[in-house]
Amino acid sequence: MRIEILVFDGVDEMDVMGPFEVWSLASRRPEFELALVGLDGPAEVTGLHGLQFKASAGLSTPDALFVPGGGWMNRAEKGAWAEARRGVLTARIAELAPRLDWIGSVCTGSMLLGEAGLLKGRPATTNRGAWHELEEFGADVKHHRVVDDGDLVTAGGITAGIDLALRIVERFSSVEVADGIAAGMEYTRDRDIHVSATAK
């Protein structure tokens, strides 16, 4: 399974780096392949807090797409809010979504999924400071750290992306592999996960 993490200027660094750490460890196994990608090709990205890093490839047609957030609640000039206003990224997400095995987000990356029209009537979560805005997209907002609705998996604020990434490893490999990765990271899993009947 190829997972692409879509990055952009103003993205929250932890939204990206937490899941990246989990899936990079998982990608030592044949079930997983991981890439950081820019929307229009390889990109040099400056995160919300100034960290600069590179996405070595452009968004392709992966098996799974993960969308981080950042810069939404303060309406920053760069970040999720700005990308939603620009509309290009959300249009691409909407185009890709039907072809993906699953699409996921952490924090206000959920807002980009909402802007792409993917959340109406679906259980989802986001940063607790944006729950009310998530409802405006028609989502069935769950106050859980991770919400697994099968082909749509969302996580709460910032560090919750680590638990989402571990949940994905558990689903597509095993509990033992996910727990082993968490132990190697010296991370205690938070199992506050809402799992829809269709995702079990």
d(CA 118, CA 93): 9
Q: pLDDT-derived band of residue 199, with 50, 70 and 90 as boundaries?
A: confident
Residue 61: what pLDDT? 94
pTM listed for this prediction: 0.97
Mean pLDDT for the chain?
A: 97
Instruction: Say if residue 197's pLDDT is above 90.
Output: no
Instruction: Say if residue 200's pLDDT is above 70.
Output: no
pLDDT in tens, 88-134: 999 999 999 999 999 999 999 999 999 999 999 999 999 999 999 99
CATH 3.40.50.1820 holds for 2-199: no
Catalytic (active-site) positions: 107
